[in-house]
Amino acid sequence: MDIKILSPQWGHEHLPVDEFIAKIVDAGYDGIDTWLPDDPMTRKRLLNHIEEEGLVFVAHQHQAAGNNFKEFQASFKINLEACAAASPVLINSHTGRDYFTHDQLLSLIDIASEIADQTNIPIVHETHRGRMGYSPQSTEQLFIQRPGFEITADFSHWVCVTESMLGDFESVLYEAIDRTRHVHARVGYEQGPQVTDPRSPEWAYALNRFLVWWDAIVAVNRQKNRKILTFTTEFGPFPYMQMIPFTNKAIASQFDINCYLKDLLRERYIVKVDPESWSIGK
């Protein structure tokens, strides 16, 4: 199984596309995880640069919108089809709203499954606050009714929503790990979705807990003989990133932290592969 480590474009929107691509290539990333620009020419430039550099591309769908469910449903379908047209290795979707009914969320899963079947591009749904998979409790009910429902594991949101390191949610956590096709590698904690700096010793407990989960995800995907598993190092800019008060300066460099995580993941899962040391946790 190939493990590919991707950079988010999030936090680099100020850079021209060619500069951003050059930056992540120089840093040693395997690819990019980003949304498709609305402007056709900008979208074409982005996709051309990705192809020229031979980068792995994960399309990020977060633009679906609407004043009611019917409008959101139509927008959701349009945006997923647009993502699929760009031929990514998979589509990561911010699906629904946390206040949609259970049946409405099931219908969105079904729309995504139909598009995935038609295009042969996996569509996975991110565990994200404010969205369909905002909590382990709500996601568990969807798992029960949709056996093929797969996710992007961003457990930083779950630890924040539950104000815990998920010790009381082991059953659904194991199920989520089993259904993971893509990982957003950001370290959260009980009171927020992003620690200030995962390199700092006070956050070792959180980093180590996330590494256990990521180890299990890698182990599961190897057992399933997946051809590829993608990680996106997804530490974000302000307001995810804390600022030094009264200075308008970030407490740490987003890019440096993401590169630290890139190197950590590569060393752990690609350079020094020891699958026997990993446990799914069941």
- Looking at the predicted structure, is the pLDDT value of residue 280 above 70? no
Check if the beta carbon of residue 91 is closer than 8 Å to that of residue 121. yes
Supply the pLDDT for residue 33. 98
pTM: 0.95
Instruction: Count Cβ atoms within 10 A of the Cβ of residue 75 and give its class: 0-12 exposed, 13-18 middle, 19 or more buried.
Output: middle
Averaged pLDDT for residues 7-28: 97
Sequence-separated (6 or more) residues with CB below 8 Å from residue 3 = 218, 228, 229, 230, 231, 265, 269, 270
- Least Cα distance to 216 among 258, 257, 268 occurs for 268
Query: CA-CA distance, 153 to 63, in Å (whole number)?
Result: 19
User: Among 231, 186, 239, which residue's Cα sits nearest to residue 209?
Assistant: 186
Which residues, including other chains, have CB under 8 Å from residue 46's CB and lie 6 or more apart? 17, 34, 36, 37
**C-alpha–C-alpha distance, residues 36 and 62, integer Å:** 10
What is the predicted pLDDT for the residue at 271?
80
Q: Tokens standing for 271?
A: 């350079």
Quote the tokens at residue 16: 């021209």
What is the mean pLDDT of the segment spanning 157-168? 98
Q: Closest by alpha carbon to 52, among 13, 90, 22, 23?
A: 22
Q: Are 78 and 47 in contact (CB under 8 A)?
A: no
Is the pLDDT score of 282 beyond 50? Answer: no
Residue 49 pLDDT: 96
Mean pLDDT of 74-93: 98
pLDDT of residue 278: 53
Q: Is 191 exposed, middle or buried (0-12, 13-18, 19+ CB in 10 A)?
A: exposed
Residue 263, classed as helix, strand or coil, is: helix
DSSP states of 169-235? -HHHHHHHHHTEEEEEE---BTTBSS-S-TTSGGGHHHHHHHHHHHHHHHHHHHHTT-SEEEEEE--
Q: Where along the chain do its domains lie?
A: 2-277
- The 10s digit of each residue's pLDDT in 196-226 is 999 999 999 999 999 999 999 999 999 999 9
Averaged pLDDT for residues 63-90: 97
CATH number for the segment(s) 2-277: 3.20.20.150
CA distances from 96 to 56, 76, 131, 133, 138 (A): 26, 8, 5, 9, 13
